[in-house]
Amino acid sequence: MVGIDAKRFFGLIARLVLASVFISAALPKLKDPVAFAAAIEAYRTLSGSWAMAAATVLPWLELIIAVGLLTPWLRRASAGIMALLLVLFIALHLSAWARGLNIDCGCFGASASSPDYHWLVLRNLALLILSIFIWRIALRNKYAPTRTL
């Protein structure tokens, strides 16, 4: 009983942490998608209108899955999509690191700071573990047998 409560409590903390990180990442990008498009282009994987399209859609997706984590009926998909996004972000950071790109990570909107790739990858790995944890709990709750009195 105590174990279940501890897991629920940890799940709640994990959801709050992930939601606050993704909301604070989404809001500056929503305000200035052109600057975020430039940050995307710096990764040299998308350019021009494709980067602008990604810069317009991605912040909304981040915001909605962040709110979705706190919404019981959107939790599973939000955690799943968040995990996929984090895998994508980690892959992009590793790719930029391997190519020696000295670029703004664009994680929380545009900034002039140089990336610390160790920190970026470790942070996103930690967030990925949290999102997988939430996703598994949400899946288990969905498929758990209904208790009857």
Partner 1 sequence: MLRESLMIALLTILGTAYSLVSGLAPLPWAEPALAAGEIRLEDARVLDVIWVDARSESEFTAGHAPDALFYDQADPAGSMAGILEQWLQGPRPIVVYCTDEGCGTSKKIAGELRVNVPDAEIYSLKGGWSAWLE
Rule CB under 8 A: say whether 102 interacts with partner 1.
yes
Instruction: Find, among 52, 8, 99, the residue nearest to 91 by Cα.
Output: 99
CA–CA separation, 11 and 111 (whole Å):
32
Site string for partner 1, 14-33 (x = CB under 8 A): ----------------xx-x
66 is a contact residue toward partner 1 (CB under 8 A): no
44 binds partner 1 (CB under 8 A): yes
Give the chain's radius of gyration (CA, Å): 17
- Give 3-state DSSP helix, strand, coil % of the chain, rounded to 5: 75, 0, 20
List contacts with partner 1 (CB under 8 A). Answer: 30-31, 33-35, 37-38, 41-42, 44, 47-53, 55-57, 60-61, 63-65, 68, 73-74, 76-78, 80-81, 99-103, 110
